[in-house]
Amino acid sequence: MLKNNKLCVFPLGSWLESLINVISFGWGKSLAGWIAWTFFRNPDCGCEQRKQYLDNLTGCKNFGQIKL
């Protein structure tokens, strides 16, 4: 029988986090937190949950951050 093993081909959440950090010059999480608090009165930007969800979606559990 075949097992349902997902192969970590592309860590989408970690890649997206790195791209946001490059575009925002390292201020991505701080900027997202400021927007979440200022406009939505939410103390959490949801960055980690989104990263973990996207990594799990592509089969990459506990992948970590991509080093540039």
61/55 Cα distance (integer angstroms) = 6
- Give me the pLDDT at residue 24, please: 94
Q: Where are the alpha helices (DSSP H) in 1-68?
A: 12-23, 28-40, 47-57
Name residues whose C-beta falls within 8 Å of residue 31's C-beta, 6 or more positions apart in sequence: 24
- Give me the pLDDT at residue 8, please: 74
With respect to residue 4, please indicate whether it lies within any of the assigned structural domains.
Answer: no
Contact 5, 12 (CB under 8 A): no
With respect to residue 30, please indicate whether it lies within any of the assigned structural domains.
Answer: yes
With respect to residue 25, please indicate whether it lies within any of the assigned structural domains.
Answer: yes
- Domain range for 31 is 12-57
With respect to residue 68, please indicate whether it lies within any of the assigned structural domains.
Answer: no
How many domains are there within the chain?
Answer: 1
pTM over 0.85: no
SS3 content of the chain, % helix, strand, coil (to 5): 55, 0, 45
- Give me the pLDDT at residue 5, please: 58
Which residues of the chain, if any, have pLDDT below 50? Answer: 1-3, 67-68
- Give me the pLDDT at residue 61, please: 74
- Give me the pLDDT at residue 4, please: 54
